[in-house]
Amino acid sequence: MKKIIPLLFVASAFIAPNFGNAQNCDSYEISLNKLVQTKDYDAAYPKLKEALAACPSEKINFYNFGETILENKIANAANDVEKKKYANELVTLIDNRIKNFKDGKEAFWKGEAINYELNYGLVDKMGAYEKYKELFSSSEDTQKLSTSTVLAYYSTSIELMNEEKLDFEEVLKVYFQTKKVAEDNIEMRSVEYGTLAEKLDSIQKTNPKKDLTPAEKQTMANAQSAKDMFVQINESMEAILEQYTTCDNVAAMFANRFEANKDSLEWLTGSYQALASKDCYDNPVMERIEEQYNIVWKKQNPQAEQTQVASRGGGGTVGSPYGSGVRKYKAGNYSGAIEDFKKAMDEVTGTTRGDVAYYIALSYQKTGSLSNAVSWAKRAANYKPGWGAPYQLIASAFGASANACGNSQFEKLSTYWVAADYANKAAAVDSRSASWAKSAVRSYEGTAPNQELIFQAGKKKGDRVSISCLGGATTTVR
């Protein structure tokens, strides 16, 4: 495999003692900006050194300029010695950026520094792997790692396994670490994008000409871009190990380690979460881990009335009725699943409530109780903005209920417009729903009232139509 080239570049530069004044710092910033804009990097390089010596913590732009300047110096180096010199300066730059600007992105920049070290041969693959491992294991802020760092850690572990320097179980640990970071980022960006998409939808219902602020639109665009990148690398990582990460293979690994780790709540929680990420709820090993978690937690907390829930978000919620609910759902016991999921709703927080509510909606859908299914799907969408699946369920429910909605043929067929509206909503908040939505909307609108039926009903394009079934909805004549 080729060396991983970092995908995201932002800021960096070197540094020295802190002296100088604000006026000099402003002057340096103006000069550097002009030199970088005109791509005069040879002149910018010594100016950058002066600026960072005089103003190491005053201007974050110096680090932005610095990365651009040093990347160019590396690309145009006369030989390998010169290239490594500039590469080392670039890594030092990032280290000093972290020291001088505590902006909550320390994990991101530590990852970028390792990427540069690996890319420019400052460390070998095993050295880089150990640094990635420490970063992913110790950082509480791995959500903010770049896609390039996540992909580099994963790819490096695969390469080392192919060179017989790592065993498969070690690579599997990396797989679960990087998978979690990718999925956490996808969810974080989805919520960020979805919240603004919901706001836009709300304000345009009252005034179609109103829009989000430029800053909000930029935030939406950035969130969508970041989400798409993490979706892409997550799919790529899954594809590489797909045949090796089935429930049976993964469960066997945790089964082998169970006896040695059965008294560790940390191991039990992590193992449960890893299995949950592969949807292995009906695997006996996962049930065994959950039972052991309850035993160990109660042993360590004898005065507690109930077991504490340990959640990573999504389905990885050990100690709650969530797992039992999923097992019952998979077994076709939908009423039992609903009962467990409703209990779980009282024990989970944040966007995890959206996952649980969605499972309740699915369970009601399976029983044919579509009104309840729609109600819970709406709750799921509220708890977890930026997720298209609940809207897909709502669209499907309206599409399946057309014959029971209204008295006239026009009223019944208008239900398909509602279904199309929700399908479009799914795509609007979540790009992962776009392909499904495109096909669904074409189908629904093709079945909705034609022009003759619209005329007979005394309606015209743009008129509002109310639908009374499934909790009610309002749509527009096309």
pLDDT along the chain (478 residues), means of 10: 37 41 85 96 96 93 96 96 97 96 90 97 98 87 89 97 93 93 92 91 86 94 93 92 88 92 92 90 92 90 64 57 92 97 90 94 97 98 95 98 93 97 95 95 97 94 94 94
For residue 212, how many other CB atoms are within 10 A of its CB?
A: 16
Rounded to the nearest angstrom, the gap between the alpha carbon of residue 319 and the centroid of all alpha carbons in its chain is: 24
Whole-angstrom distance, CA of residue 265 vs CA of residue 68: 46
Look at residue 316 in the predicted model and tell me its pLDDT.
Answer: 55
**Can you give the residue ranges of every domain in the chain?**
402-478
Look at residue 16 in the predicted model and tell me its pLDDT.
Answer: 42
- Look up residue 329 and give its two tokens: 């759902």
Whole-angstrom distance, CA of residue 228 vs CA of residue 430: 10
Whole-angstrom distance, CA of residue 125 vs CA of residue 148: 15
Look at residue 2 in the predicted model and tell me its pLDDT.
Answer: 37
Question: 471's torsion region: left (phi>0), alpha (psi -120 to 50) or beta?
Answer: left
Task: For residue 132, give every residue at least 6 positions away whose Cβ sits within 8 Å of its Cβ, in sequence order, or none.
Answer: 111, 114, 149, 152, 153, 156
